[in-house]
Structure 1
């Protein structure tokens, strides 16, 4: 569609869900709104990935932001409500372990140590840094992380502890990543995790802890996340659009704009990693063909595996 043609579009688009995907959708919505001279109004809420899917399957919204693939229970919820959807990966993220700027000891951490720190057995037991690794201070950790409705929480716990939702509960939880940033930056013993874009936007206030997934310490960077070397904490991000709304002109053009070169530039602008162009070509083809359902089956493919999954689904 030529830029001038966008002015013929009008209507509302209600989006809700992941706080991690929110910056991307907000940026796309703002630029798309300008192209339509404000005639398309996109409202973007933040209730967490799980909260977004509940609203999506209940028919309250037409697009759901998600920082993980839809779960089997959510597939069933939508099916029971007669809601068909198109699954659209939009970017790559790296879940970033963050610490306070004054933290001089935690330069790198292993997945096993993350489990020791965040796993369910740690609750009311592993309270001090020295309990995570010998030689670290005998100071009590101040822990902040996404809440249970967050896809980031689901993904981190699944990756670190082997089961989605398997986590200690005695930490300060919030669906607002800015509150996590405030908490971690507010005291020397602050520690937490969140999406890469929120870290990169606040790198002057926070320290990113390198992660050893078994092949040595790797920092979260654009290149490492895109190449899959920041493993196993790299993941794709998604939007889901209702099939019955996807052919509506203003919604269809919004999705196309999301996947366009302009949309990809906005992904990078807000701190996430765009897919290579062949991946976006496959995603757009699925959308144009109206392919419904999930091809990721609740799994989080890494790096180039996204292209493989999509190619095999054609």
Structure 2
């Protein structure tokens, strides 16, 4: 299937992904990972809460090959990643958004070159409701009118009751319990830009420190609604189909709809690394990256509920970093 439209503004790996075939499953052309000799030491990861589970699973997979490597993972939010990699307190900087220009400039001022962005998976930011909520789906203008005070999406009125979204009976007069990530989160910024059209959140939102807290809040509140990465979905919530425009076709947050670009809140997930343009990666980082772009590494992506990347992207990154697939 071909990607119909870019998931994000054209930049680095995202530009390539607008013109390549994507796979909802693991691309069989990805190489198998094989163990390399002489890899040991410590790896540290500081950054995205959305990527926390994925980083943990990658660490476990890496430890199957290298049991003597110690990997420490902190996942407080994407905004913690740039200063950590800039100051050298982290080797890996996972982010659910691209670095801002100011963050790149801070890194460049210290190191003399830009950080390297590894696109590692495709995610879908889902709008979750309680599993007992009968709503069929929402348009982005409706999502905006529920969560934002500014309504830049153009919806005609502020939405404060479920009845305004077509629910009847006992649901008609129920208000919303709004659950959101906090401002340190890349997901918070992505949702603000894409679902709120750059507008402002309502003051009534319940900011949560992590994605699991958002989902838990929605699961415990019959009138709850919140958002997070699709990887945090549980049986206690429903991820709503979304339409780009009012009255438009609804698309489920599925791997296929993310790969085609039909689901409107799909995005790339990244890991930033400190790669000197004229020096090879140190062996431990090189092998961690090589594992991510293998059958095993992208298999972890698939099992964790995200959309794996195709071999054409993996091969491009390996070539840029000077990583030999036969190592």
For the aligned pair, the TM-score class normalised by the smaller chain equals 0.7 to 0.9
Secondary structure, aligned partner of 1:161: coil
Secondary structure, aligned partner of 1:173: strand
Is the contact made by 1:129 and 1:141 (CA closer than 8 Å) also made in structure 2? yes
Alignment of 1:56-67 (within 5 A): 56-67=85-96
**Structure 2 match to 1:235:** 267
- 2:109 aligned with 1:80, yes or no? yes
**Structure 1 match to 2:183:** 148
Whole-angstrom CA distance in 1 between matches of 2:319 and 2:209: 33
**Bigger RCO (CA 8 Å, 6+ sep):** 2
- 2:306 aligned with 1:276, yes or no? no
The offset of 1:179, in angstroms, is 1.1
Of the candidates 194, 198, 213, which is equivalent to residue 159 of structure 1? Answer: 194
**Structure 1 match to 2:321:** 287
Whole-angstrom CA distance in 2 between matches of 1:87 and 1:222: 23
Q: Deviations over 1:32-85 (max 9, x none)?
A: 11211x221111111211122222223221211111111112112212322642
**Structure 1 match to 2:223:** 189
TM norm structure 2:
0.79
**Structure 1 match to 2:232:** 198
Whole-angstrom CA distance in 1 between matches of 2:272 and 2:313: 17
**Structure 2 match to 1:26:** 56
Is the contact made by 1:26 and 1:44 (CA closer than 8 Å) also made in structure 2? yes
Unpaired segments ≥5 residues, structure 1: 290-314
Q: Deviations over 1:225-269 (max 9, x none)?
A: 122111x21111110011259611111111111111110111101
Secondary structure, aligned partner of 2:36: helix
Whole-angstrom CA distance in 1 between matches of 2:108 and 2:35: 39
Runs of 4+ in 1 over 3 A off after TM superposition: 1-6, 130-136
Alignment of 1:1-314 (within 5 A): 3-6=34-37, 8-36=38-66, 38-82=67-111, 84-104=114-134, 106-121=135-150, 126-131=159-164, 137-163=172-198, 166-199=200-233, 202=234, 204-214=235-245, 215-230=248-263, 232-244=264-276, 247-288=281-322
TM norm structure 1:
0.82
The offset of 1:286, in angstroms, is 2.3
Secondary structure, aligned partner of 1:121: coil
Is the contact made by 2:33 and 2:295 (CA closer than 8 Å) also made in structure 1? no
Change (3 A) 1:131 1:77: farther
Structure 1 window deviating more from structure 2 (242-251 vs 260-269): it is: 242-251
